[in-house]
Amino acid sequence: MRTFGVSWLSEPGIRAFFYQLIALAALALFGAYLFATVSTKLAQQNIQTGFGFLSHEAGFVISQSFIDYKPTDTYADAIAAGIVNTLVVSGVGISLASLLGMIVGIARLSTNVLLASLARVYVEVIRCVPLLLYLFFIYGLILASLPAANNAWEIAPHVFLSNRGIAIPKLHWTFGDSWIAFSIATGILFVVAIGYILRKRRTGGDAYRCLTPVLLALLATIAIAILILHPAAAIDLPMRSRFRITGGVQLTPEFTALVFGLALSTSAGIAEIIRSGMLAVGKGQSEAAQSLGLRRSQTLRLVIIPQAIRVIVPPLTSSYLTLFKNSSLAIAIGYPDFVMVSNMALTQNGQAVEIVVIMVLVYLGVSTAISLLMNWYNRKVVLSR
């Protein structure tokens, strides 16, 4: 390749090598500068380094926690409580957003012009206003406009809405209950496995008929298990007392506002994803299905949805990921999610570098986990056509 009279510097491979060398050197220099500045600064302020602080006592209060946490616990416990809070709020938000989004998406596809345009207005309005505004608005609304706890609204049986948040029934859990839950879970897994094997054998419509006796047998087993093991699970219902609501799970206004804000703002995107997924399946498909004599519900279940799912899953994953990341807006209204707890830890002990590392690792970890899971599901859906 090398021609005489041309400098070896102009040979593409060598030039590429030099470019990369220069880039790496610049990066290394920048890193070294950062390291030097940070370590002198930390030494000046007498801040210790390393992850030893995780086992020290945290000493701050977390206003709502789904795992047991008290101020005398360690930093590691506090951060774990923050992570669980983030996961719970994202999980509830994702389910609510999916439900809302599905309803609105289907409404947008309706042949009823009025319903479709109402759904469209909903999507446009939701999309054009930032999530943070919804959070402040809902939070302000809960605090300012809802009744005090002693005359809370009962929006559903034993679900109370007041300016102290939402109170919902709580399930008391014992050891025996775990066994029952375990047996039920095993049974469901069993049924799913049988259904999968039957479908693999392509026994067609008969497969589902075979499932009925299996299901009945399973129900009988569960009934027997419950009879023998005497479930001690009791439902703790919230009650309206004179000054406040007692019992049940009390969800703070911050949690409520965050869940509803996240669900609202994500539902518009999900509605659009579902709509475009359904529209992406060609008209010919449903016409062909109808000419085969399939009913409308069958067309939807056997022809349209399996194909639409493939279009829907990838963007749905990214909107779930967005919701998960957006849950960090919790810090604006004071719900103790992972970011807020980390921030509290940081202001207390000043170990910024370590906490930033933990933040990056946790967020990247969960993001990667969600996208791996959805990619796996996507691959499965794509292959099974």
What are the residues binding other proteins (CB under 8 A)? Answer: 16, 19-20, 23-24, 27, 37-38, 41-42, 110-115, 118, 124-125, 127-133, 136-137, 140-141, 144-145, 325-329, 331-332, 339, 343, 346, 350, 352-353, 355-356, 359-360, 363-364, 367-368
Q: Which of 316, 340, 343 is nearest to 327 (CA)?
A: 340
Distance of closest approach, residue 79 Cβ to other proteins, in angstroms: 14
Distance of closest approach, residue 101 Cβ to other proteins, in angstroms: 17
Distance of closest approach, residue 100 Cβ to other proteins, in angstroms: 16
Cβ contact 306:137 at 8 Å: no
**Closer residue to other proteins in complex, CB, 115/229:** 115
Cβ contact 310:381 at 8 Å: yes
Cβ contact 152:161 at 8 Å: yes
Neighbouring C-beta atoms of residue 299, cutoff 10 Å: 18
How far is residue 152's CA from residue 244's CA, in Å, rounded to a whole number?
Answer: 9
Distance of closest approach, residue 47 Cβ to other proteins, in angstroms: 8
Cβ contact 240:121 at 8 Å: no
Sign of the C-alpha dihedral, residues 4, 6, 7, 8?
negative
Residue 174, token pair as written in the block: 């014992």
Distance of closest approach, residue 191 Cβ to other proteins, in angstroms: 34
**Closer residue to other proteins in complex, CB, 37/178:** 37
Distance of closest approach, residue 349 Cβ to other proteins, in angstroms: 11
**Closer residue to other proteins in complex, CB, 180/263:** 263
Sheet holding 249-251, edge to edge: 153-156, 159-162, 165-168, 249-251
**Closer residue to other proteins in complex, CB, 63/112:** 112
Cβ contact 240:152 at 8 Å: yes
Distance of closest approach, residue 73 Cβ to other proteins, in angstroms: 23
Distance of closest approach, residue 155 Cβ to other proteins, in angstroms: 19
**Closer residue to other proteins in complex, CB, 174/318:** 318
Sign of the C-alpha dihedral, residues 179, 184, 187, 189?
negative
**Closer residue to other proteins in complex, CB, 168/346:** 346
How far is residue 314's CA from residue 377's CA, in Å, rounded to a whole number?
Answer: 10
Q: Which residue has the tokens 């409308």?
A: 296
**Closer residue to other proteins in complex, CB, 140/147:** 140
Neighbouring C-beta atoms of residue 69, cutoff 10 Å: 22
**Closer residue to other proteins in complex, CB, 203/375:** 375
